[in-house]
Amino acid sequence: ELIELCKVAARYGGFYATHQRNRQEGVLEGAMEAIEIGEKAGVPVQISHFVPRFPDGNKTLECMGIIEAARRRGIDVTCDVVVPNARDGYHWAHGSLATQVLPLWAYEGG
């Protein structure tokens, strides 16, 4: 159903924006599903709050690899991340996507 709806959006220059479907188990499958929907419908894809959590938290780089592979195939796919912190109760910050891909200078000054 989403593919068919996105095909209509494609006719009007739209895109498929989705929240990350799974943050724990199945995070890779959720990313692949979002990309597949966009690819089959011919629309750009935006995955929001793309942050693998435990037990799949160690799959951060693999998740980014899925996005990069889609881009190499010509799919317009982007994501944004949640930068976790202890105040919000996210104690898994050391394994988050943001801490693995952002340069250290991005954290300077809070």
Per-residue pLDDT tens, the chain, 110 aa: give them: 999 999 999 999 999 999 887 666 778 898 999 999 999 999 999 998 877 665 555 677 888 899 999 999 999 999 887 665 555 555 444 455 555 566 777 767 75
Q: Specify burial of residue 22 (Cβ count, 10 A radius: 0-12, 13-18, 19+).
A: middle
pLDDT for the residue numbered 17 = 95
Kindly report the pTM of this predicted structure: 0.74
Write out pLDDT tens, residues 92-109: 444 555 555 667 777 677
